[in-house]
Amino acid sequence: MELINMKATRLVIVLWVTMNPIFTKANIKCWHNEEGIRECGDRIPAKYSQGASEEFSDSGVLLKTNPKAKEINQINQDHEKANREKADRLLLNMFSNVNEIDSARDKKINQIDQEIKLIETRLQKLIENQNKIRAVLDSSNAKKNQERVKRLNNDVLSTEIQIKQSNQFIKEKKVERKLILHKYAKDSERFIELNTKH
């Protein structure tokens, strides 16, 4: 029993020595409270952890100065500014004048216009095909064969779905076209602004 008590006592002493700041050479941390009074301790209270602080060795030598943590608003502003500067560098590296920006815009717009024309042509053929299928369905010969009527109705439904998808694609491409025009107009404006600054 004494052996167990002795081991437990040793364990407690070892833990106390390793956890005690006097023996572990803990650094001293200093911060300012709401009234501007400097306070120090072995750790900074959570309430003041976002403020500026200093860290000293146990002998009083300044080890580290921690600046005040930025507020979320400031972080967002810094992030936006960095993104803007990156976009500006990219713009200046990609284009040497406004005509190049206009040329790049025109290429993208022409590509979208070609895609729209292709889909409009396909759409016309789908509508013609659907009209032909409906004409066959309306004929008296088709009504005699129920199997054929079922297949033709499925073809009408399939064609209807393709027509809706084509119309949706055209709408999306027209929206994309507007966005590209807007983006390149902003790029041209920003390019001119950047070149007048330099």
Choose the most confident range, by mean pLDDT, from 1-5, 39-43, 81-85, 133-137: 81-85
Listed residues 66, 82, 110: the one ending a domain: 66
Instruction: Please return the burial class of 86, using the count of CB atoms within 10 Å of its CB with bins 0-12, 13-18 and 19+.
Output: exposed
- CA separation for the pair 189, 195 (Å, rounded): 10
**Same-domain pairing of 46 and 106:** no
**Same-domain pairing of 101 and 193:** yes
Query: Which pair of tokens denotes residue 16?
Result: 């106390």
**Same-domain pairing of 62 and 154:** no
58 in a domain, yes or no?
Answer: yes
Q: How far is CA 140 from the centre of its chain?
A: 59
pLDDT in tens, 153-187: 899 999 999 999 999 999 999 999 999 999 999 99
111 in a domain, yes or no?
Answer: yes
Residue listed under structure tokens 């590296």? 93
- CA separation for the pair 184, 120 (Å, rounded): 26
pTM confidence score: 0.58
Of 38, 65, 32, 37, residue with least CA distance to 51: 32
6 in a domain, yes or no?
Answer: yes
**Same-domain pairing of 60 and 119:** no
Banded pLDDT at 101 (limits 50, 70, 90):
very high
Percent of the chain surpassing pLDDT 90: 46
The number of domains in the chain is 2
- CA separation for the pair 198, 193 (Å, rounded): 9
90 in a domain, yes or no?
Answer: no
88 in a domain, yes or no?
Answer: no
- Range(s) of the domain holding residue 27: 2-66
pLDDT at 111 over 60: yes
Of 7 and 131, the one with more pLDDT: 131
Write down the pLDDT at residue 49.
83
Q: Check residue 61 and report its DSSP letter.
A: -
Could you tell me if 68 and 50 are in contact, meaning their C-beta atoms sit under 8 angstroms apart? Answer: yes
